[in-house]
Amino acid sequence: MDILIYGIINSATLALMAMGFTLVYGVSRLPNFAHGALYVLAGYICWLLLNELGIPYILAVFIALAFVAAVGGAMYQFILVRIRGMAISEIIASYAIGLAILEGLRWGGLKGGTFTLAPFVEGSIEILGVSVDWQRLLVVGLGTVLVGLLWIFVNQTRLGLALKGMAQDERAALTLGIDSDRMAVASMALGSLSAAVAALIILPLGSIVVEAGYHVLIMAVAVCIVGGLGSWTGALLAAFVIGFAQILTVAYLGAHFQVVVALLAIIATLILRPSGIFGRQKELEERV
Amino acid sequence: MASERDGIRKERLDRGIKVRSDGVYCISSWREMAFLLSPRLLLIMGLLLMPLILEPAPYWQKVLIIVCIYAFLALGFDFLAHFVGLVSLGGALYIGVGAYISALLNTELGFPLWLSIPTATVLGGLFCTLLLWPCLPLRGVYFAIVSLMFPLLAARLIEALDVFGGTDGIMGLDGFANRWWEMYLLVSVLLIALFALRRLVNADMGLIFRGVKDNDQAVKASGISITFYKAVGVLIASCLGCFGGACLAHVYMWAGISQFAMDFSIIPIAATVVGGGGTLVGPLIGCLILVPISELLRDFGTLRIAVYALILMGFIVFKSEGLMSFGARKYNQFEHWVEI
Amino acid sequence: MAEPILNVRDVNKAFGGVQALAGVSFDLMPGDILGVIGPNGSGKTTLVNAITGFIKIDSGQVIYKGRDLKGLAPHKIADLGLTRTFQVMRPYFSLPAYKNLIVPLFSPRARRTGGWRGGGRMGSRDTVAVDILEEIGFERESYVPYKNASSLPTGYLKRLELARCLALRPDIIICDEVFSGLSMSEMASMVPLMEKLQMEGVTLIMVEHRLRELFRLAGRVLVMNFGAKITEGTPDEVMANPEVKEAYFGSEEVFSYV
């Protein structure tokens, strides 16, 4: 039974991590390799505000969210927009930015395990005979809320529908007067926001370390590849598949095999069904 | 456009000597031959003489070795990215694989150094190609993502499973007979690789690679398997990287997780972008510039990675042609402002 | 009486909500020239892509020389001798024309067959390339084969595209609008070229818009509209068919308002 509970929690965690990445790729076809860096940045900013400036927790959280969203948008507006369309450059540039942020943070002092954020709610609760921290429940709960909000946003609001239109057919959206660059900025900001939300919910469970940035990037990418680059439902499903696979591995084989699961999932997907579970994009075919 | 101001524009003309010496006619005059050959001779002689020049400063000889190892990676990256169309973000994979295989051959199977290095090169190249094989039929972004992730995953795997020496690594490898061997082996193989690749991309097979990159539909319609030739490209690049890795292991007489580190992934890319992509020589020049800077910045710890990343980003966005193309242009052409 | 060299049976392909190909079927006899016509968007190029493996079909069969082509990659299909040209040509512009043939001459099929006119193992690829260009109408004695592809007019570029197919010594060439963009004089020399290819034993499928020249060459014509085959027959039969007129020009009622 604990496998079920832990499985759900792990899957929700993965889904939360991957949301931002899949959002940006789905809308602007931009693989944001700085995703992990933004995640860690959010945690660090919050910690700074909390501990160095003594700002109350709730306020610090909101400021951190806003800050990271702004960084994401600015990243696009000032840097990525200049190399839009050149796939190689986009990948390298976003990777470089992420790297600069992460290693810059490491040099700036983010070393060792002393950077922690307090969980929102202390203590734990028993569910079906398994002891679960409140914070972990919060991950599942807030994660579901986030996904729900995103869904509502994309399907009901004007901006969201515009983003969805962009994702489906950029040219058609352009002819309808939707500015692709502004949309891309919006999607980057939203994606960064998601990364930040994920960070601020998940990081309290451990400590803030630079390695988390790389870990999150790997996991987000794994989830997106298995689920299909650009498909949100696919990412959700993939998060569950990988999440449960990891928990099962921990239960029967040992904790250090978690990473192997991610690796195997990627390789298996690429061999068996390259476009992922719900991948909308075909491979190198379908060209005029 | 940057080269246009109000009322005037920049005009570029080939220098007279370039026009005269293009094609077969260059043999007719010493001056023209010198014009064509001197940059290349400068590079070759410079590299070959470097170990001697640096004799009084053994620290810098070590740096030269590191430059060469990075140059192998950068050469592979440039070749893959600009001649085959694949962006390989994880050069560290090749270094790590080459280092570990050579270390294992040396310590476990008792292979002597001059046997373990070539074997590691070939085996490592095959292994890396096999790992990356599933992504080859897919769109480029998959290859970039997976190539980035493999070294990260490999490091964590070795750490978690505690194999191959775990976090301590494999120690007690044979070293080279002396410094001269280290340096000249690397420099000469590098030069050979450079010229071999140059010949390759200009030969018929180079045309196929170019087709794979630019016009894969036509190549497919001509009865040629894209996946196969991409694999050949990856094999070449990974063999280069694995050679570098194997040599690195024996220079330090140690193989460990840090050989999967970020440095090895980011510096080749930065070197290529700074030095000039698509030229095969550019990455070499980029390494000559960036690696010494990297060594000087060692005291700053991982900040230097942040610095390269920023330099890389700057170049990609603002001056993506790189120094080599820039320099070649200046050398071969002169510009002046002309009234419209 | 020979077997058909190509059977296309009930091929269907949908892109999302759009049915690009709806139950298209036809047979192709060796040595024939089959024309494929239809208004823009009728699925002609999709059909070509489907037959040559660039698109996976939803259902139906494509049988070439008795062999089902299901699941084969495009380069494998070309390797079997079923080749196609591209409407949008992208040769290596900065290279001489004959260098553009090096890639197809490098393929396994070309190396097996020696390319067009080669008798078995291939000699120097460059020589074979220039030979093929001469066959296709590039005057050998002149410097035209050695000109950069960027300076060639459309007529020569179309021939280059055909030469790319010929390098594989194909059994079938599917020509995707080779007549488009040609001037009258270029056209005048293109038609005899297609006849010559037919005489050399190549079976042709020609997707075209320029009907007058096509009807001089094609023995049979297939008309498509909205992804389906409307009719098939000799050029005369097809032109007399009222459905064909309706497909191109709209129905009678529309005309009455004009």
pLDDT band at C231 (very low <50, low <70, confident <90, very high): confident
Tokens 């009807």, residue?
C215
Higher-scoring residue by pLDDT: A157, B208: B208
Strand pairing report for C33-37 and C203-207: parallel
Q: How far apart are CA B290 and CA B270, in angstroms?
A: 8
pLDDT band at B85 (very low <50, low <70, confident <90, very high): confident
Higher-scoring residue by pLDDT: A178, A242: A242
Q: Is C92 on the interface with B (CB under 8 A)?
A: yes
Which of the residue ranges A93-97, A107-111, B230-234, C251-255 would you say has the lowest mean pLDDT? C251-255
Are A208 and A196 in contact by the 8 Å Cβ rule? The answer is no
pLDDT band at B240 (very low <50, low <70, confident <90, very high): very high
Residue at A161: amino acid letter: L
Chains with 3 or more CB pairs under 8 A to chain A = B, C
Instruction: List the structure tokens of B136.
Output: 């080859």
Helix extents (H) in B108-225: 113-132, 140-161, 179-202, 204-214, 216-221
Mean pLDDT is highest, among A242-246, B171-175, B316-320, for A242-246
pLDDT computed for residue B127 by the predictor: 93
Average pLDDT over residues B97-124: 87
- Residues 6+ away with beta carbon under 8 Å from C251: none
Q: How far apart are CA A244 and CA A142, in angstroms?
A: 19
- Residues 6+ away with beta carbon under 8 Å from B163: none
Per residue in A61-83, is it b (16+ CB within 10 Å) or e — as a string?
bebbbebbbebbbebbbebbeeb
pLDDT computed for residue A103 by the predictor: 82
Which of the residue ranges A41-45, A280-284, B22-26 would you say has the lowest mean pLDDT? A280-284
Instruction: List the structure tokens of C207.
Output: 């997707």
Cβ contact (<8 Å) for C90 and B218? Answer: yes
Q: Say how many C-beta atoms besides its own lie within 10 A of residue C188's C-beta.
A: 11
Whether residue C205 has pLDDT greater than 90: yes
Average pLDDT over residues A2-23: 84
Q: How far apart are CA B221 and CA A227, in angstroms?
A: 31
Which chain C residues have a beta carbon less than 8 Å from that of B222?
A: 75, 78, 103-104, 107, 164, 167-168
Best of C15, C45, C49 to disrupt the A interface (most A CBs within 10 Å) is C49
Higher-scoring residue by pLDDT: C39, A127: C39
| Integer angstrom CA distances of residue A263 from A80, A218, A236, A268, B151 | 29, 9, 18, 9, 11
- Residues 6+ away with beta carbon under 8 Å from A266: A221, A222, A225, A226, B146, B149
Residues of chain C with CATH 3.40.50.300: 1-81+173-258
pLDDT computed for residue B22 by the predictor: 58
A115 phi and psi angles, rounded to 5 deg:
-95, 105
For residue A73, the distance in angstroms to the closest alpha carbon of chain C comes to 33
Q: Say how many C-beta atoms besides its own lie within 10 A of residue B40's C-beta.
A: 11
Whether residue A42 has pLDDT greater than 50: yes
pLDDT band at B2 (very low <50, low <70, confident <90, very high): very low
pLDDT computed for residue B340 by the predictor: 64
Per residue in B109-148, is it b (16+ CB within 10 Å) or e — as a string?
eebebeebbebbbebbbebbbebbbbbbbbbbbbbbbbbb
Cβ contact (<8 Å) for C56 and A287? Answer: no
Prediction ipTM score: 0.82
Sign of CA dihedral B76, B82, B85, B89: positive
**Quick check: helix, strand or coil at residue B151?**
helix
Tell me the pLDDT tens digit for each residue of C131-184: 888 888 887 667 777 778 788 888 888 888 888 898 888 999 999 988 888 888
Whether residue C90 has pLDDT greater than 90: no
Q: Is B142 on the interface with A (CB under 8 A)?
A: yes
Which chain B residues have a beta carbon less than 8 Å from that of A258?
A: 160
Q: How far apart are CA B76 and CA B236, in angstroms?
A: 7
Determine what percent of chain C is predicted with pLDDT higher than 90. Answer: 16
**Quick check: helix, strand or coil at residue B9?**
strand
Which chain A residues have a beta carbon less than 8 Å from that of C45?
A: 288
Which chain C residues have a beta carbon less than 8 Å from that of B204?
A: 102, 106, 125
Q: Say which of A91, A267, A284 has its CB closest to residue B134.
A: A267
Q: How far apart are CA B304 and CA B321, in angstroms?
A: 23
Strand pairing report for A130-133 and A124-127: antiparallel
Determine what percent of chain A is predicted with pLDDT higher than 90. Answer: 0
pLDDT band at B238 (very low <50, low <70, confident <90, very high): very high
pLDDT band at C119 (very low <50, low <70, confident <90, very high): low
Q: Is B316 on the interface with A (CB under 8 A)?
A: yes
pLDDT computed for residue C256 by the predictor: 44
Mean model confidence pLDDT for chain C: 84
The pTM of this model reads 0.84
Q: How far apart are CA C190 and CA C182, in angstroms?
A: 9
Mean pLDDT is highest, among B148-157, B203-212, C75-84, for C75-84
Which chain C residues have a beta carbon less than 8 Å from that of A285?
A: 54-56
Tell me the DSSP string of A31-60. Answer: --TTHHHHHHHHHHHHHHHHHTS---HHHH
Q: How far apart are CA C33 and CA C172, in angstroms?
A: 10
| Integer angstrom CA distances of residue B8 from B12, B264, B337 | 13, 45, 6
Q: Is A287 on the interface with C (CB under 8 A)?
A: yes
Chains with 3 or more CB pairs under 8 A to chain C = A, B
Q: In 3D, which of B7, B13, B1, B3 has the Cα closest to residue B335?
A: B13
Q: Is C55 on the interface with A (CB under 8 A)?
A: yes
Q: How far apart are CA A198 and CA C229, in angstroms?
A: 54
Which of the residue ranges A220-229, B1-10, B116-125 would you say has the lowest mean pLDDT? B1-10
pLDDT computed for residue C255 by the predictor: 43
- CATH code: domain C1-81+173-258 is 3.40.50.300
pLDDT band at A287 (very low <50, low <70, confident <90, very high): very low
Cβ contact (<8 Å) for A286 and C88? Answer: no
Q: Is B140 on the interface with A (CB under 8 A)?
A: yes
Average pLDDT over residues B268-279: 83
Domain annotation for chain B: domains and CATH numbers: 57-326 (1.10.3470)
Tokens 């933004």, residue?
A38
| Integer angstrom CA distances of residue A285 from A233, C18, C24, C72, C233 | 23, 18, 21, 13, 33
Tell me the pLDDT tens digit for each residue of A180-230: 777 788 888 888 888 888 888 888 877 788 888 888 888 888 888 888 877
pLDDT computed for residue C254 by the predictor: 46
